Amino acid sequence: MTAVVPPDIDITGVGRSYRGRSRTTDALRDIDLSVARHEFVAFLGPSGCGKSTLLRLMTGLDQPDVGTIRLRGQSPRTFRRTGALGIAFQDPALLPWRSVARNLALPLQVLGRRVRPADQAIRTLLKRVGLDGYEDALPGQLSGGMRQRAALARALVTDPSVLLLDEPFGALDQITRRMLNIELQRIWSSQRITTVLMTHGIDEAAFLADRIVVMHARPGRIARIVDVPFPRPRDPALFGHPDFTAFCEHLMHAMQAPGP
């Protein structure tokens, strides 16, 4: 009998509220979701629907008021301390006084691992994200897209089992964003890291994910979960295919339709 592999991410009954001076805002309510090992799940929704709040809860940077989150059976904080969790945000947050290679080395140094910026593993990872030759460059010398590539490489440097991405390409122009979507798919296909992406980009979610979790706001909640019908690997030409356009229209209607 084949052993059942438990989910890498298990979210059960999660809610989070914030109290202001005059009222309480429900940022999230009744979030239930399991993400299987090697699965790529995108949370899709407009600003204010709780995507970033949920990601912070998944990273252990914040705590839910109710419910539980487990990453491979551990609390997010415990899991993060092992180095098995990679995280990238919309702001690359690279240290401006450290070279690209030294920025990548930082998570390993925090974990107490012996590493040098010139180590082959770091150079190989920079080559994988298209930054070969920029090891010694400072963040201020890079374009926005290159800084996001460096941030993605830094999220991968600890060889994580789970990768959490919060609008990592949201501030980029459409051309650069699409190029990085293609790059991220290539990296995911080669490593099959369990990945959760928070995005408001419909075509981005449709191109990258196995399943798309459509979020509605006030309170932030799951409205629908949609399976992506396109087989892998996905060629960049898919962006212009009529079936892809129709699927993105379907997702748009799902975002706009009244939720449960």
Predicted confidence (pLDDT) per residue in 13-22, tens digit: 999 998 877 7
Question: What's residue 204's pLDDT?
Answer: 96
Predicted confidence (pLDDT) per residue in 232-247, tens digit: 999 999 999 999 999 9
Predicted confidence (pLDDT) per residue in 24-63, tens digit: 888 999 999 999 999 999 999 888 899 999 999 999 999 9
Average pLDDT over residues 89-109: 92
Query: Phi, psi (5° rounding) for residue 146?
Result: -70, -35
Q: Mean pLDDT for the chain? A: 91
Distance in angstroms (rounded) separating the CA atoms of residues 204 and 200: 8
Average pLDDT over residues 177-205: 93
User: What DSSP line would sit under 70-104, residue for residue?
Assistant: EETTB-HHHHHHTT-EEEE-SS----TTS-HHHHH
Question: Which one is predicted more confidently, 259 or 145?
Answer: 145
Quote the Cα angle for 36-186-233, to 5°. 70
Going by pLDDT thresholds of 50, 70 and 90, the confidence category of residue 208 is: very high
Predicted confidence (pLDDT) per residue in 107-143, tens digit: 988 888 877 776 888 888 898 888 999 999 999 999 9
Portion of the chain with pLDDT greater than 70, in percent: 97
Reported CATH class of domain 9-84+160-256: alpha beta
Question: What's residue 260's pLDDT?
Answer: 57
Going by pLDDT thresholds of 50, 70 and 90, the confidence category of residue 217 is: confident
Amino acid, res. 140: G
Query: What kind and span of H or E run contains 59?
Result: helix 51-59
Three-state secondary structure of 128-197: HCCCCCCCCCCHHHCCHHHHHHHHHHHHHCCCCCEEEEECCCCCCCHHHHHHHHHHHHHHHHHHCCEEEE
Domain spans of the chain? 9-84+160-256, 94-159
| Gyration radius (Cα) of the chain, Å | 18
Distance in angstroms (rounded) separating the CA atoms of residues 121 and 231: 31
Question: What's residue 130's pLDDT?
Answer: 87
State the DSSP code for 257: S
